[in-house]
Chains A and B, each alone.
Chain A
């Protein structure tokens, strides 16, 4: 190039459709330039500045002339090739930054302006989180998407280890477009303008998170929003080193937290005049309910029992809640633990559905740290009847070698036969078991005659019952002593 002619032509593109070219020229002279693309269209563009936009050119070499209109002698010619062009995407813009303080989550929304691009391209977004007025980098994360020719809104969330209330968080982002058709240089966009989130303190000292439930073994950051100098921070009985935030706000980091006592573990910040604290409840998610068993005592109500498995370490409002769900009927029953703390048995009662035999139960256990479940399929009449203990057991004479036994059994056994077992103990402790089958009835007394006894002999009787399709014996009745009558002399 002749002296004083335009030089150092450099072109970039933000969207692969338009090239933004700029050059150097002695300042203050020749404010009008004519840029011409030497091709069959010979298109020219005039500009009063030392830059102009031209449509993106096809791959290959293209001759470009820049002619300072008022001085023909200093025309400059350049060879432009896509390979020398830099793709620098437009600076992205964070449309919306919101915070969920309860979960310490930041949510951002942005538009990828995909409509500006001629074809699908892979995009990498870098999202940077910074903290404190000094804007210390907390983390830099990448998120990959694809431009699809349309403007697409993207959402992205990040959970802070530090409660958002205690320190201002800043977010910015930039992007890198990896367009496979483009042979030029690809560079990162500029960083977007920073957006920030902060909590508006009410000047009451406060500790965050408040009453958090965490998994044993996790790391927890607890922080204190306060106006006066914190001189001591304690987690339980351990003294912790302070992490200084903005102003007098401080934080501590607890690593690999161990299970809390029943009342939780106190985290306390002490100043000369004040004591501010919170409680952390470190525990476990509910174990899979073990030995889930469902049976009925009376064919009216099903009782499901289970073993909760490993203790969660969480009590009161964080206790495990259980829900028994029956999938065929869609019904469910919820287990309320606190009603009677003395009652430590885990059981739920489910009203049987008339004429319904097969039940598909799912027991769901849930606490703030997670949930688990167990299932059991039960044919309630076949393998689940565990009758109540027979009551009102009586023995009456029938004759010298036979007695009649009667007992009452609560339950709706009308549709089945009962198998009962009579234990007969003779005075000289000879014991005999006899099985008898009786037609089931609902909430009724039953009678049976036991013969082949010895006259004028002391016997002890007791009875227990099950269903014909055996599952469990009931408990034995109380024993009844009985002296058979004397035989009538023949």
Chain B
């Protein structure tokens, strides 16, 4: 199963769950998105790490995710990744395809986008396999309805740092997602407040 395949749904719950776990494991790695972003933005030449920490509240914490029902978790994951895609689109918009096609880091950003679409596709396939409701309900994560707007800061440099903090949070979020999914894989009885 391709990590980024879009299209028909597997009816295998465990297969889908395993694939999402693998996707989350890959996506938590900063080499997938944060590192190329930093190079593109020229931040790699600075001691930026101290100034590129996740802003609390941007992404749901692990505890929050663990406190959600499975359906709520999938809805929250889907909505959050939707907003990440929106942010990536804004980031890529001003750069002509000529540049993106030739630059390795930009290719990496596009690939990361593909992974996100792949996870959302699996969410779409997995949700009906949870019992009853198959239509998508608004996420039960009580966090910000939308992620902070693409540009918190007006000036370009702080805008770059904002993006850095955002992606730091994204990778942490995917790490938490992978941990929650692995708890699911151990079976419903074993995971704390989980009820499918």
Contact = CB atoms under 8 A, between A and B. Distances in A.
Interface of B is mostly: helix
A136 B24 CA distance: 60
19 contacts: A210-B156, A211-B155, A211-B157, A263-B41, A263-B42, A264-B156, A265-B42, A266-B42, A266-B43, A266-B46, A268-B46, A274-B51, A275-B46, A277-B158, A278-B156, A279-B157, A317-B94, A341-B94, A344-B97
Interface string A123-147: 0000000000000000000000000
Contacts of A210: 155-156
Contacts of A274: 51
Given A236-B42, A262-B40, A270 B47 contact: yes
A279 B160 CA distance: 9
B98 interface: yes
Contacts of A278: 155-157
A224 B92 CA distance: 30
Given A278-B157, A341-B96, 11 more contacts: A210-B155, A211-B156, A236-B42, A266-B45, A270-B46, A278-B155, A279-B160, A315-B95, A317-B94, A341-B97, A344-B97
Contacts of A338: 93-94
Interface string A199-220: 0000000010011000000000
Contacts of A236: 42, 45
Interface in B79-123: 92-99
A193 interface: no
A181 interface: no
B157 A263 contact: no
Contacts of B157: 207, 211, 266-268, 277-279
Interface in A223-269: 234, 236-237, 261-268
Interface of B: 40-43, 45-48, 50-51, 92-99, 155-158, 160-161
A275 B48 contact: yes
Contact of A263 (B40, B50, B93, B97): B40
Contacts of B40: 261-263
A338 B95 CA distance: 9
Contacts of A268: 46, 157
A342 interface: yes
Nearest to A274: B51
Contacts, number: 71
A319 interface: yes
A316 interface: yes
Contacts of B92: 341
Contacts of B96: 315, 341, 344
A263 B41 CA distance: 6
A237 B160 contact: no
Contacts of B41: 263, 266
A118 to B, nearest CB: 56
A270 to B, nearest CB: 7
Contacts of A319: 94
Contacts of B45: 234, 236-237, 266
Interface string A261-291: 1111111101000110111000000000000
Interface in A292-350: 315-317, 319, 338, 341-342, 344
A35 to B, nearest CB: 68
Contacts of A270: 46-47
* The 9 A-B residue pairs with the shortest CB-CB distance in the complex, in nearest-first order: A316-B94, A279-B156, A237-B45, A277-B157, A275-B51, A211-B156, A266-B42, A263-B41, A342-B97
B94 A275 contact: no
A212 B96 CA distance: 21
A270 B48 CA distance: 10
Given A210-B155, A234-B46, A275-B46, A263 B160 contact: yes
B52 to A, nearest CB: 9
Contacts of B94: 315-317, 319, 338, 341
A273 B43 CA distance: 17
Contacts of A277: 46, 157-158
Nearest to B48: A275
Nearest to B45: A237
A236 B48 CA distance: 13
Q: Which of A268, A278, A316 has the largest number of chain B CB atoms within 10 A?
A: A268
A62 B155 CA distance: 72
Contacts of B51: 274-275
B42 A264 contact: yes
Interface string A13-57: 000000000000000000000000000000000000000000000
Nearest to A279: B156
A32 B45 CA distance: 80
Q: Which of B51, B92, B98, B161 has the largest number of chain A CB atoms within 10 A?
A: B51
B95 A266 contact: no
A262 B157 CA distance: 13
Contacts of B97: 341-342, 344
A270 B95 CA distance: 29
Nearest to B94: A316
Nearest to A339: B93
Contacts of A316: 94-95
Contacts of A265: 42
A281 to B, nearest CB: 8
A237 B48 CA distance: 13
Contacts of B95: 262, 315-316, 341
A322 to B, nearest CB: 15
Contacts of A266: 41-43, 45-46, 157, 160
Contacts of A262: 40, 95, 99
A216 to B, nearest CB: 17
Contacts of A234: 45-46
A207 B160 CA distance: 15
Nearest to A317: B94
Contacts of A317: 94
B43 A341 contact: no
A252 to B, nearest CB: 15
A344 B156 CA distance: 25
Nearest to A280: B156
A294 to B, nearest CB: 24
A270 B94 CA distance: 29
Contacts of A211: 155-157
